[in-house]
Chain A
Amino acid sequence: MADVTRMTATEIAALIASGEASAVEVTRAHLDRIAAVDDRVHAFLHVDSEGALESARTVDARRAAGEELGPLAGVPVAVKDVLATKGVPTTVGSKILENWRPPYDSTIVARLRAAGTVMLGKTNMDEFAMGSSTEYSAYGPTGNPWDLGRIPGGSGGGSAAALAAYEAPLAIGSDTGGSIRQPGAVTGTVGAKPTYGGTSRYGLVAFSSSLDTPGPCARNVLDAALLHAAIGGHDPRDSTSIPQPVPDVVAAARAGASGDLTGVRLGLVTEFSGEGAEPGVLAAFREAVDALTKLGAEVVEVSCPHFQYALPAYYLIAPSECSSNLARFDGVRFGLRVGDDGVHSLEEVMSLTRDAGFGPEVKRRIMLGTYALSSGYYDAYYGQAQKVRTLITQDFTNAFEQVDVLISPTTPFVAFPFGSRTSDPYQMYLADLFTIPSNLYGGPGISVPCGLSDGLPVGLQIMAPTMADDRMYRVGAALESVVGTLAPPAL
């Protein structure tokens, strides 16, 4: 049998369905790969070997009993540590939830189990999904398999690195300002942020509730679409879940793979032309645009004048929601408690607990949010940011009257070396420059590899109207049919 860890999820599923390999064999191969490389990559915070093998045995038994199983049955998946997993540690990359084992499954995880996928474990992330490099994990950074001295992107660096290191064929991420797409871009993998409300947030540890969107990560577009279809759709437990079916993203990915984009209009955002992006990133992007044109797509330049305010608006809205959401970490019902010695008051215990449990980026954002929401500053900061959100939404609406999708580089720069941006938080925030607008708007976005710059991967972002997720998969698969998938050097 060929090395299953190098196969796509689609290939693995076919192998299991044909009986050439059992789910247990596939799972063991991935657990072995994790054991061989993860001490260097550090993509995982927790590997659930026993649970994974148990799930795999169940899939094999169901298949042996003649049950009809879903298209991803038996395929291993790694889950970002932001999602609650019953009985399996869920830390959100934070010391404040060290060793916490949720008593319930998030909807995404429940759907993964129902689909017959095998959860390998929980992946590393920036604490509470706040960061663009996975350097803010309380448990140490993850290395980028392309160069272990560089960042794998953030906040979902662990999920993206697990894919690029062949530790898992599929992974789940969450995207608040680019945390699925940006790690996808810098690790040469595919990351999709579904339409906000198209995937359930039930059981996702909240950072910024109006923006957080769980979604699929994979090594190719079709695998991402299959995973998207497995986890997406209405969830009555989430009041922001959209009560409509997810468009047929799998059919769209298959259609796009034929490489025909005749009649598709791609929008280039005028305001994104060259802003702060590295020359190598822009060169790879332009080449990809040429390739898409050759597939029959028409390229139109569209102006989105308020996109330049997206980053400032995001860094007011997200911290404001975080300061409110993270108030629940008070050392009473779950997680860490510090200073409960009979000497300190409840308020002091709360402050000491939060000081010890939260890292610097989380503290910065809590204070920033508290400031933006405080009386006297509310109108100038938070209130104004919410108006900017309206203007950005209008920009998208106007753009989608002219084009089918918008395209841009996913990130302004390729994976940077560890430590090069941590001293200046605002420089770090610029990593999400191109991804943030679609979070404020709520529409879907995907990052697909489009080439290399200085030997490091570059991603192309495709943004679509809300609930038109299928469009981005079609264009993404067409791009992939030309560029192919990227393989990092051997670890």
Chain B
Amino acid sequence: MSAISREEVAHLARLSRLAVTEEELETFAGQLDVILQAVARVGEVAAADIPPTSHSVPLTNVLRDDVVVPGLTRAEALSGAPDSEEDRFRVPRILDEDEPPSPRGEGPADSDGKA
């Protein structure tokens, strides 16, 4: 039985923001299926009582004193950007031209983080 279907791969490509071609989809579906069947072996280890390890070094937040130090200039920060305008990153259009504005209360979260 295959571990992953072509439709699932198409869905993964969308989630991953990858505009893959039909041909690529076919290739990836076959390859991901082989890989997933091989890596599924991790399930052979009964591990209900085993704590997971996400990192080999104990992680602690590194905080420095709140001292103002020079950072990158605007020009440096923008130097690698594909496009910029008025000292800012210029991004492609976000809304469709014929998209109606969101009614009040149904738009994206406001600045308080509350919808």
Q: Which of B50-65 contact A (CB under 8 A)?
A: 50-57, 59-62, 64
Give bound CA distance, A240 to B19, whole Å.
Answer: 34
> Is the CB of B24 closer than 8 A to any CB of chain A?
yes
- Nearest-Cβ distance from residue A343 to partner chain B, whole angstroms: 9
Contact yes or no, B19 A340, CB < 8 A: no
Partner of A363 from the list B8, B28, B36, B41 (CB cut-off 8 Å) is B28
Contact yes or no, B80 A334, CB < 8 A: yes
- Nearest-Cβ distance from residue A338 to partner chain B, whole angstroms: 9
Contact yes or no, B18 A368, CB < 8 A: no
Q: Which residue of A lies closest to B41 (CB)?
A: A312
Partner of A309 from the list B41, B77, B79 (CB cut-off 8 Å) is B41
> Is the CB of A236 closer than 8 A to any CB of chain B?
yes
Partner of A236 from the list B4, B45, B60, B62 (CB cut-off 8 Å) is B62
Contact yes or no, B79 A101, CB < 8 A: yes
> Is the CB of B16 closer than 8 A to any CB of chain A?
yes
Contact yes or no, A371 B36, CB < 8 A: yes
Give bound CA distance, A210 to B57, whole Å.
Answer: 9
Contact yes or no, B82 A387, CB < 8 A: no
- Residues A316 and B53 in contact in the complex (CB < 8 Å), given A332-B81, A363-B24: no
- Nearest-Cβ distance from residue A271 to partner chain B, whole angstroms: 14
Q: Which of B2-48 contact A (CB under 8 A)?
A: 4, 8-9, 12-20, 24, 27-28, 31-32, 34-36, 38-45, 47
Q: Which residue of A lies closest to B8 (CB)?
A: A371
Q: Which of A316-348 contact B (CB under 8 A)?
A: 316, 323, 327, 330-337, 339-340, 342, 344-348
- Residues A346 and B45 in contact in the complex (CB < 8 Å), given A315-B35, A340-B82, A363-B18: no
| Complex interface: chain A residues within 8 A of B69 (CB) | none
Give bound CA distance, A309 to B24, whole Å.
Answer: 29
| Complex interface: chain A residues within 8 A of B106 (CB) | none
Contact yes or no, A387 B50, CB < 8 A: yes
Contact yes or no, B83 A354, CB < 8 A: no
> Is the CB of B93 closer than 8 A to any CB of chain A?
yes
Contact yes or no, B42 A384, CB < 8 A: yes
> A interface, by DSSP: helix, strand, loop or mixed?
helix
Q: Which of B19, B59, B64 has the most CB of A within 10 A?
A: B19
| Complex interface: chain B residues within 8 A of A386 (CB) | 52-54
Contact yes or no, B81 A466, CB < 8 A: no
Partner of A239 from the list B8, B51, B59, B91 (CB cut-off 8 Å) is B59
> Is the CB of A278 closer than 8 A to any CB of chain B?
no
Q: Which residue of B lies closest to A97 (CB)?
A: B80
Contact yes or no, A340 B83, CB < 8 A: yes
Interface residues on A, range: 35 or more
- Residues A367 and B55 in contact in the complex (CB < 8 Å), given A333-B89, A384-B42, A388-B47: no
Give bound CA distance, A383 to B44, whole Å.
Answer: 13
Contact yes or no, A242 B57, CB < 8 A: yes
| Complex interface: chain B residues within 8 A of A380 (CB) | 40, 43
Contact yes or no, A351 B17, CB < 8 A: yes
Partner of B43 from the list A327, A366, A384 (CB cut-off 8 Å) is A384
> Is the CB of B96 closer than 8 A to any CB of chain A?
yes
| Complex interface: chain B residues within 8 A of A441 (CB) | 56
| Complex interface: chain B residues within 8 A of A363 (CB) | 13, 16, 18, 20, 24, 28
Contact yes or no, B59 A240, CB < 8 A: yes
Q: Which residue of B lies closest to A349 (CB)?
A: B92
Contact yes or no, B18 A346, CB < 8 A: no
Q: Which residue of A lies closest to B49 (CB)?
A: A387
Q: Which residue of A lies closest to B47 (CB)?
A: A387
- Nearest-Cβ distance from residue B89 to partner chain A, whole angstroms: 6
- Nearest-Cβ distance from residue B50 to partner chain A, whole angstroms: 4
> Is the CB of B109 closer than 8 A to any CB of chain A?
no
Which are the 3 A-B pairs with shortest beta-carbon distances? Answer: A442-B56, A386-B52, A337-B82
Extra contacts besides A196-B56, A339-B92 (19): CB < 8 Å: A100-B80, A103-B80, A236-B64, A312-B40, A312-B42, A315-B35, A316-B39, A340-B92, A346-B91, A354-B19, A364-B28, A366-B18, A370-B16, A371-B12, A383-B52, A388-B42, A390-B50, A391-B45, A429-B35
25 A-B pairs in the complex with CB atoms less than 8 angstroms apart: A103-B76, A104-B72, A210-B56, A239-B61, A242-B57, A309-B41, A309-B45, A315-B35, A316-B39, A316-B42, A333-B80, A345-B93, A346-B91, A351-B18, A354-B16, A355-B18, A363-B24, A367-B16, A384-B42, A387-B52, A389-B52, A390-B51, A390-B52, A426-B34, A441-B56
